[in-house]
């Protein structure tokens, strides 16, 4: 399947509300299906929302009961893997006959830690696997733990080889190389970065990896926080999240977007053969790799997942 339609959903979650946000996923997948999308990507931590502006009332040597209560609420509305919610997302991928990538805050079933995670689903086989962000950025480290190499995955599917990284781990050169070494053709980059220069980052990745890049962000305003959370963000002065979702081709050219200041879906019809054509003059893990000079070993990275083999749990 060389030609396909890909879509990125720039939408507003129902913050700290797992079940209602799942209903929003259903709504937006229905909209994407009307545009005949074969693959749909949702933003970073779309479920249950990226906690922009929250400090969790913490400083070095101090945490308050109020911040612990807030964290508990976030934890309760996060997604365990496996769980009923993961099964529901798998059912939605099957219902709308689309591959699905979606950013969630994951609640670890064993240790209780939260992770910033990207989940993959197939319209035929359901849940395929997950990637946990390797390094939360800044104050994110108070909320999310660090992922390990065992979730640096790529998946062989009927719509191409999928893989990707979350937000600023895309600035980690070796993490990108881990994806390129897996032969990723469609690179998923859910994010919370709404800066205009994020576009340049995604164009660079497309050119470097000779892959299609799907960048996806939330659209979120201060008033989208429920009243009970307004107090926690009263001192946050920046724009909350303007979006900036985008689709880029393997030549670095923008195929759709960027989309700012509203909810919506971007789509593009892509031809995977273009990924090969643009490797004529540059292939970062092929004729440009210089393996005689450089050696990258990624301890614990799994083999490429075959769509019909659920190897990642």
- Asked if residue 133 belongs to a domain, the reply is yes
Number of domains in the chain: 1
Answer yes or no: is 312 within a domain: no
Burial 202-213 (b: 16+ CB within 10 A, else e): bbebbbbbbbbb
Asked if residue 267 belongs to a domain, the reply is yes
Q: What is the pTM of this model?
A: 0.95
Q: Where in the sequence numbering do the catalytic residues fall? A: 44, 133, 167
**Per-residue model confidence as pLDDT tens for the chain (313 residues):** 789 999 999 999 999 999 999 999 999 999 999 999 999 999 999 999 999 888 777 778 888 888 888 899 999 999 999 999 999 999 999 999 999 999 999 999 888 899 999 999 999 999 999 999 999 999 899 999 999 999 999 999 999 999 999 999 999 999 999 999 999 999 999 999 999 999 999 999 999 999 999 999 999 998 888 888 887 787 777 778 999 999 999 999 999 999 999 999 999 999 999 999 999 999 999 999 999 999 999 999 999 999 987 544 3
User: ω before 177 within 30° of 0 (cis)?
Assistant: no
We report the CATH number of the domain holding residue 67 as 3.60.110.10
Q: Answer whether residue 62 is part of any domain.
A: yes
Task: Give the residue numbers spanning the domain of 34.
Answer: 3-306
CA 290 to chain centre: 30
């Amino acid at each position: 399947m060389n030609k396909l339609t890909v879509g990125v959903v720039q939408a507003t979650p129902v913050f700290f509300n797992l079940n209602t946000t799942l209903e929003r996923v259903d709504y937006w997948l229905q909209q994407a299906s009307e545009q005949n999308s074969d693959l749909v990507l949702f933003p970073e931590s779309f479920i249950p929302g990226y906690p922009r502006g929250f400090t969790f009332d913490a400083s070095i040597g101090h945490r308050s009961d109020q911040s612990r209560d807030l964290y508990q609420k976030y934890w309760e509305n996060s997604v365990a893997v496996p769980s009923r919610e993961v099964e529901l997302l798998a059912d939605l991928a099957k219902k709308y006959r689309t591959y699905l990538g979606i950013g969630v805050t994951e609640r670890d079933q064993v240790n209780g830690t939260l992770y910033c995670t990207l989940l993959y689903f197939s319209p035929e086989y359901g849940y395929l696997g997950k990637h946990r962000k390797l390094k939360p950025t800044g104050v994110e480290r108070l909320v999310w733990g660090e992922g390990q190499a065992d979730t640096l995955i790529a998946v062989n599917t009927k719509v191409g080889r999928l893989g990707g990284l979350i937000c600023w781990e895309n600035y980690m050169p070796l993490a990108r190389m881990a994806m390129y070494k897996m032969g990723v053709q469609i690179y998923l980059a859910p994010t919370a970065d709404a800066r205009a220069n994020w576009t340049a980052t995604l164009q660079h990745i497309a050119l470097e990896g000779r892959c299609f890049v799907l960048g996806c962000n939330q659209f979120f305003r201060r008033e989208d926080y429920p009243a009970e959370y307004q107090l926690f963000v009263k001192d946050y002065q920046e724009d909350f999240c303007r979006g900036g979702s985008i689709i880029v081709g393997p030549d670095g050219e923008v195929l759709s977007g960027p989309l700012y200041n509203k909810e919506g879906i971007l789509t593009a019809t892509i031809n995977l053969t273009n990924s090969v054509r643009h490797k004529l003059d540059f292939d970062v893990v092929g004729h440009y790799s210089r393996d005689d000079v450089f050696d990258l070993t990624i301890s614990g990275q799994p083999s490429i997942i075959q769509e019909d083999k659920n190897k990642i749990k």
